[in-house]
Amino acid sequence: MKVEEVITLQVPASAEYIDLVRLTLYGLAVKIGFSYEEIEDMKVAVSEACNNAVLYAYGDLGTGEAAPVPQPAPRIEVRFIKKNDALSIIVKDDGRSFDASAAAARAKPVDGKSIDELQAGGLGLFLMQALMDDVEVNSETGTEVVLTKRLVKSGEM
């Protein structure tokens, strides 16, 4: 029988709250049985997804407008879905949508380049894909990044 448990965390779309997401991830991943290295990989990937939401989803809110209509503060929702054999982390914002396939098509290969030759930005998605087993980006309303890491029980490798 497949059992799923969902833990939902909502935080302001601000860099200072990303540590709270990482700490929650750490606590869950330890309970599930992930190795230290797997947990560190997941923490980097979820940080990238959260940073992207903070930096790009909401843009410059409230600049230059006279008496803007009060809006709720921008938030990031993070759902941790604990399954029997995996952990999925869903990072969702309601800001500007992101076209992942177009961004991937524009990206230049990084093979053989020194760190000085790489452009800042645009590497987050590649980093997430390198560190996680599955990465999905849905951007119909806002952006939702689904990061999945499968649990490898000892003796399965």
**Nearby residues of 127 by Cβ (< 8 Å), 6 or more positions away:** 44, 45, 48
* 47-68 core/surface letters (b: 16 or more CB in 10 A; e: else): bbbbebbbeebbeeeeeeeeee
| pLDDT at 81 exceeding the cut of 50 | yes
CATH number at residue 118: 3.30.565.10
Domain containing residue 41:
5-59+74-150
Provide the domain count of the chain: 1
What sign does the CA torsion over 45, 149, 144, 77 have? Answer: negative
Decide: 44 and 124 in contact? Cβ < 8 Å: no
What is the structure's pLDDT at 34? 96
134-138 and 5-12 beta bridge pairing? unpaired
Q: How confident is the model at residue 39 (pLDDT cuts 50, 70, 90)?
A: very high
pLDDT in tens, 104-150: 555 555 555 544 554 445 678 889 999 999 999 998 888 999 999 99
Whole-prediction pTM? 0.79
Residue 155 within any structural domain of the chain: no
Between 15-19, 57-61, 140-144, 146-150, the lowest mean confidence (pLDDT) is in: 57-61
| pLDDT at 86 exceeding the cut of 70 | yes
